[in-house]
Amino acid sequence: MSARKWNFGAGPAMIPLPVLKRAQSEFLDYDSTGLSIMELSHRSDTYEALNNRAQVQLRQLLNIPENYKIIFMQGGGHTQFAAVVYNLIAWRHRQNKQNNVGSGDWKDIPVDYVVTGSWSAKAVEEAKRLGANVRVICDAKKALGGFKGVPEESTWKTSDPQGELRTADRASGQTPAYLYYCDNETVNGVEFPFVPSLQDPAVPVVCDMSSNILSRPVDVSKFGVIYAGAQKNIGPAGVSVVIVREDLLQTSELSDGLLPIPLMLDYKTMAKNNSLYNTPPMFAIYISSLVFEWLLDSAAQRVQDGEAYQDGKNLIGVEAAAARNERKASKLYKALEESKFCRIVVTDKQSRSKMNIPFRISKAPKNDPNAVPNKAEDEAMEAAFVQQAEARGLLQLAGHRSVGGIRASIYNAMPEEGVDVLIAFLKEFEAQY
Ligand code: PLP
């Protein structure tokens, strides 16, 4: 690891070193073809085998039921903000038509959003821009005075115990096309400690897991759609993984007066063609497949766990990652709690992300509610922190440009050793003042 530095950036994130080395060794000659993976035809048997293998690996890792399709799509989270709107409104439109409810106008179909940070807020913006009838059923900023946690589900606007809203919705053809949330808000460091449970089973749950997919086990059967841009926990930017329940692919067609789904955003087209409708981002999918393989390899996972972890569990896959992520995050949060300068941004402990940990540095005494922080001085200290960290090979610790501060992103590929190095630096930095 000596020549390599520790990347605490939120994404593109670290790729496991054994994966990079393997890719390096196969770079000029993939699978004895005499060509790089980038030069192969996407219609070749060799590529098709890789495409299928990556799906099998991901299905195994997340225990994805058979009635879910796995799609590799071009683009990232922003692409999916739009794809979700098109696909699920077209699905609900068809449902309404079959059940003879609703006005028939797609713009009347509600779509429900839970906003717990910048990325779900951006997804709302995109849905509105496309003309969807957006209902924000929970806004954490309003409910908690900032993106500091996940408001309890009982406070969301759909969660009326009598189900009156839903009964009324259904009778008038107003059942929402979906309920949307972002499982881990990368900028704000807020991660859902639960899967929404009180929702109408007729409303598919759509989840953006871009920054925490494969970091812990997930019960896929609770979701209609899970998507994730690759560049945090999976692989290079340019590909997104979409896991979609098969029945949701039954969408209305053009003739129904719907906004047509652009083919490149159409889950049905992608699924029908096994993610080979057009030229896929083959290199990104190839690296993703190597990352899946790394997660499934018990020897590789033991190496990643390092000497510090010796409870002999010998885990693989997301279970290994989850145990490691738990240890990494809890030791970093503990160090931040104990520090005199550092303030963890997310105050609701249950909703603290295990992947992205934003904090502020301030000289004002932590336990004195009357202390007035000196903003300029504190920001100068944060800048010094980032700069000194870089000099030690701890890279990209600056918070997102929209919020400032510091953010440590510790995805699956970050070994526990990297977190230990960061904690040691934190203590050293503090000792200077
Ligand atoms: N959703 C989440 C949770 C993200 O963290 C990001 C980017 O960081 C996005 C969506 C947007 O992804 P992209 O930049 O791939 O469009």
pLDDT at residue 167, as a whole number: 57
* Domain end residue (candidates: 258, 292, 326): 292
pLDDT at residue 1, as a whole number: 47
pLDDT at residue 249, as a whole number: 97
**From ligand 1's centre to the CA of 405, what distance in Å?**
19
Residue 407 bridge partners (DSSP): 358
Q: CATH number, domain at 367?
A: 3.90.1150.10
- The CA distance from 381 to 249, in Å, is 52
Number of domains in the chain: 2
Residue 5 falls inside a structural domain: no
- The CA distance from 135 to 206, in Å, is 14
pLDDT in tens, 29-61: 999 999 999 999 999 999 999 999 999 999 999
Residues 358 and 426 in one domain: yes
Residue 306 falls inside a structural domain: no
Three-state helix/strand/coil letters over 252-321: CCHHHCCCCCCHHHCHHHHHHCCCCCCCCCHHHHHHHHHHHHHHHCHHHHHHHHCCCCCCCCCCCHHHHH
Residues 181 and 329 in one domain: no
Whether ligand 1 lies within 6 angstroms of the CB of 175 is answered as: no
Q: CATH number, domain at 212?
A: 3.40.640.10
Are 234 and 412 in contact, with CB atoms under 8 Å apart?
A: no
Whether ligand 1 lies within 6 angstroms of the CB of 210 is answered as: yes
**From ligand 1's centre to the CA of 76, what distance in Å?**
7
Residue 127 falls inside a structural domain: yes
Residues 254 and 319 in one domain: no
Residues 337 and 251 in one domain: no
Residues 228 and 319 in one domain: no
Q: Which residues are annotated as catalytic?
A: 119, 208, 232
Give the H/E segment covering residue 377: helix 375-391
Residues above pLDDT 70, as percent of the chain: 93
**What is the residue with the minimal CA distance to atom 11 of ligand 1?**
77
Whether ligand 1 lies within 6 angstroms of the CB of 126 is answered as: no
pLDDT at residue 188, as a whole number: 97
Residues 278 and 357 in one domain: no
Residues 102 and 185 in one domain: yes
pLDDT in tens, 257-290: 777 899 999 999 999 999 999 999 999 999 999 9
Residues 256 and 347 in one domain: no
* Domain end residue (candidates: 236, 260, 292): 292
Residues in the chain with pLDDT values less than 70:
1-2, 158-173, 198-199, 254-256, 307-313
Residues 272 and 418 in one domain: no
Distances (CA, A) of 101 to 97, 160, 176: 6, 22, 12
Nearest atom within ligand 1 for CA of residue 229: 15
Residue 20 falls inside a structural domain: no
Residues 96 and 36 in one domain: yes
Whether ligand 1 lies within 6 angstroms of the CB of 353 is answered as: no
pLDDT at residue 170, as a whole number: 62
DSSP 166-194: HHHHHHTT---S-EEEESEETTTTEE-SS
Whether ligand 1 lies within 6 angstroms of the CB of 77 is answered as: yes
**From ligand 1's centre to the CA of 123, what distance in Å?**
10
Residues 235 and 267 in one domain: yes
Residue 252 falls inside a structural domain: yes
Residue 361 falls inside a structural domain: yes
pLDDT at residue 394, as a whole number: 98
**From ligand 1's centre to the CA of 104, what distance in Å?**
33
Whether ligand 1 lies within 6 angstroms of the CB of 400 is answered as: no
Residue 43 falls inside a structural domain: yes
pLDDT at residue 298, as a whole number: 87
Question: What DSSP character marks residue 38?
Answer: G
pLDDT at residue 310, as a whole number: 58
Residue 8 falls inside a structural domain: no
Domain extent, residue 173, equals 25-292
Residues 220 and 104 in one domain: yes
